[in-house]
Structure 1
Amino acid sequence: MALLFGLGAAQPVLLTGNPVPSAFVEQALRRALGWSGLEAPSLPAQPPLDYGQQRVLNLGSAQVALEHAPYPPHRTTQLLLSNDPEAVTASRGLFHYRFAAGEGVRLVYHHKNGSAGPLDFELRLSNPTPERVQVWVSDAAGGPVADEVYAGHVATKRWLELYWNQVGQLIELPPYSTRLLLKLPSRGQQVVSGLLEAVVTQGPAATLNLIARIPGEGDPPLETYAQGPVYRFASLEKHVSQTHVAGKSTLMSLGEGAFQNGAGKAIKGSWGVLYTYELRLQNPSDTPRTVGLRLSAAGGIARGVVWLEGQGYELPLLRPGQPYELTRVMLNARSERHIRLSTLPAAGSNYPLRLLLYDPLATTDPGPTGQTR
């Protein structure tokens, strides 16, 4: 437990990240109280938790200890996709997966409450073994909202902000125990979306369960669970190098994939895979040149988040035929610049996107303008 009663000390809430943002601190506090069977009081606003910091909070009749912990380095190699059924109309299991120590997994879920009434989506972490288990978890959600593109966009944006700062929670699981990580109550026709990365840091294995449940009903039996796909890679971080000569045009595809949901339906984009593009921009001429970076939707309506040189850009709603200029890069005469661009296709959006490197001074109507660098 993460609570301190009287003079008896318990395991503190262990968080990683530099810093741990306020919203994630508050989420961890609510989890600790809920796992101890206590109602979460109205939490005071929490400042970020900095590297090496410890904090003890009085919350009603309980004390909660927060402690900054080292980030567990790992490689994420398994991608879990929960999108079958897309529209859920009754209580049922949506995803069930057991993973062993050292195996980094990333779950992307995207579902709609297809009923006319309320439906709770619950994400749980279990220890199926007789030994104590510790799991590092980093997760974020979007929704419930009516707009499926917006739900996936918000979840992706929130999760990437955690990813870049190595934010997560180390969760202790006694033998044969279960922890509720997240509960998303939804109304009819609302969409929930989320991402979770997890790795077992101590002990043999853990299990992830995602369920949909009508309030008041019991847990759905295991045989109701959908058979969601599991994709295995050497890494879920893909790196692409591209050279571009100023004055010419280079067209690249971002986030194109061939994934399917459990029903065999194609997913528009490689959800959950982080792409990093190393762009080598060259100007062999004797005069300064400008390189424009322009994004356009190639698979349908889409949103996204792009990290360019460590700075996040939240994209507007992109529609086919309506390009968006992300930024412009200035190149001195006979010079070269290297820039890094990263993105992760958002669930609910229609990927791929196209990235055009071009000369904006020789092209008319580049679309809405971003920034000049």
Structure 2
Amino acid sequence: MSLAETTPPLQPLPAASEIALRAVVQVQAGGAEPVTRAVSVHIRNEMLPWTDAQALLISNSPETLAFGKVLLNGAVSGGEPVRLLYHHANGSPTRRMTIAVNLSNPERDPIKLWVIGGAGNSGAGELAVGHLAARAFLDQYWHHAGFTVQIPGNTTLPLFLHALAPGAIASGIAQFTLLAGDRLNLQVVARLESEIDPPTLSYAPDFDRVHQRGVFEPPQLVRPQAYIVDGPPVTMAIGDGRDAIHERETGIGLDGNYGVVYTFPIEVRNPRTLPSILGVVIHAQRGEASGTVLVDGRLFDIPRLWNGQRRLLTTVHLAPGEQRTVVISAMPESGGYYPGDLTLGTEYR
């Protein structure tokens, strides 16, 4: 489902305010023609206390599969927000596949959930679909935005639903905070068209020994640094194995740290009597990569970098004698190759 337009047009809402609007949405199921419908929507800007994710659920193994399977089972408890990253491809050469992220309330009373999430367009390539999901998620995450959903007791609903042609890819990332209730169950499941529920091979042994799944440590890293004008540039490694967070049961590190948000508060100082300009540059080090980077509150969107390519994102201007903190944030995105680097310094051309 995609949003075509709204009347009146969408605009920022002040805190605690609300608006009623008419939304035109386009819905497409499987290979059918898209259907356009108009719906009435009521939006309220609700201010909620922020707590970051305490665990990262990874569903990337098997990455490519030609049969239906329960790919991941997880849970969210009150007071412990959880982030989920999933990335899977339909390996069937002839049959369509649906990959769903299902949310279940196992209790009698309703639960209320805060969701920050993004999913890629399954018709895009692997790098593009991972980047679209990451960009949508990070834009909400950095603004502490998203939406709330209420799930009645003993009810399951799909949050994301990907209808995949042969070879197509489902990629998404979401963060869940339970606002009311004790527990939420979540499941990532693949199902071929006309397959029974649950799929016959749901609990077959995992044959993919390259990609990963499991419950990992809190998915955010803060790396303070310092830079003095005309000194060596600051290097910010993204997805480096030395930073790998670990799976809670096995202790295995997360290769590439996909879904982990890096934040670099950098103390910059210009001791000169002249103004100085610093450049923020992104480098692809191990292969193709994409990037969604926040620099002092400004979002920069890099859909594709080729292996070895570098690109200037923005410049930072310092007055003579100025000293301040520049904050840079980014996340390894599904479909890209890591580690990659961000640099900050006067030598950026």
Category of TM-score, reference length = shorter chain = 0.7 to 0.9
Q: Deviations for 1:90-116, whole angstroms, at most 9, x for unmatched residues?
A: 111111112211210000011111111
Q: Distance in 2 between matches of 1:165 and 1:225?
A: 40
Match of 1:75 in 2: 52
- CA 1:330–1:188 in 2, change beyond 3 Å: closer, same or farther? same
Match of 2:68 in 1: 91
Q: Secondary structure at the match of 2:140?
A: helix
**Which stretch of the first structure deviates more once superposed, 54-63 or 207-216?**
54-63
TM, length-normalised to structure 2? 0.81
Q: Secondary structure at the match of 1:143?
A: coil
Deviation, 1:298, is 2.0
User: Do structure 1's residue 241 and structure 2's residue 224 form an aligned pair?
Assistant: yes
Q: Distance in 1 between matches of 2:338 and 2:174?
A: 21
Of 249, 255, 261, 2:239 maps to: 255
Q: Secondary structure at the match of 1:157?
A: helix
Q: Distance in 1 between matches of 2:63 and 2:23?
A: 42
Deviation, 1:230, is 0.4
Q: Is contact 2:133–2:171 with CA below 8 Å preserved after alignment?
A: yes
Q: Percent of counterpart pairs with the same letter?
A: 28
Match of 2:173 in 1: 195
- CA 1:97–1:224 in 2, change beyond 3 Å: closer, same or farther? farther
Q: Secondary structure at the match of 1:333?
A: coil
Q: Secondary structure at the match of 2:167?
A: coil
1:138 corresponds to which letter in structure 2?
I
Q: Is contact 1:299–1:350 with CA below 8 Å preserved after alignment?
A: yes
Q: Distance in 2 between matches of 1:263 and 1:83?
A: 16
Q: Distance in 1 between matches of 2:292 and 2:40?
A: 38
Q: Deviations for 1:118-171, whole angstroms, at most 9, x for unmatched residues?
A: 111111110112332222222210021352111111100111122233332322
Match of 2:132 in 1: 154
- CA 1:164–1:225 in 2, change beyond 3 Å: closer, same or farther? farther
Q: Secondary structure at the match of 2:129?
A: helix
Q: Distance in 1 between matches of 2:285 and 2:163?
A: 33
Deviation, 1:247, is 1.1
2:58 corresponds to which letter in structure 1?
L
Q: Distance in 2 between matches of 1:266 and 1:340?
A: 26
Q: Please, what is the CA RMSD of the aligned residues?
A: 3.1
2:230 corresponds to which letter in structure 1?
G
**Structure number with higher strand proportion:** 2
Q: Is contact 2:77–2:178 with CA below 8 Å preserved after alignment?
A: yes
Q: Deviations for 1:306-338, whole angstroms, at most 9, x for unmatched residues?
A: 011111111252233322122232333333232
- CA 1:62–1:295 in 2, change beyond 3 Å: closer, same or farther? closer
Q: Secondary structure at the match of 1:158?
A: helix
Match of 2:203 in 1: 223
Q: Distance in 1 between matches of 2:160 and 2:317?
A: 45
Q: Distance in 1 between matches of 2:286 and 2:254?
A: 11
Q: Distance in 2 between matches of 1:219 and 1:105?
A: 26
Of 205, 208, 225, 2:186 maps to: 208
Match of 1:12 in 2: none
Deviation, 1:215, is 2.0
Deviation, 1:82, is 0.6
Q: Distance in 1 between matches of 2:166 and 2:112?
A: 36
Match of 1:371 in 2: none
Structure 1: gaps spanning 5 or more residues: 1-22, 27-41, 367-373
Match of 1:101 in 2: 78
Deviation, 1:286, is 3.1
2:168 corresponds to which letter in structure 1?
Q
TM, length-normalised to structure 1? 0.76
Q: Secondary structure at the match of 1:85?
A: coil
Q: Distance in 1 between matches of 2:113 and 2:276?
A: 50
Q: Distance in 2 between matches of 1:328 and 1:245?
A: 15
Q: Is contact 2:50–2:144 with CA below 8 Å preserved after alignment?
A: no
Deviation, 1:177, is 0.8
Q: Secondary structure at the match of 1:149?
A: helix
Match of 2:209 in 1: none
Deviation, 1:73, is 2.7
Q: Distance in 2 between matches of 1:225 and 1:298?
A: 34
Of 140, 143, 158, 2:118 maps to: 140
Q: Give the count of matched residue pairs.
A: 321
Match of 1:34 in 2: none
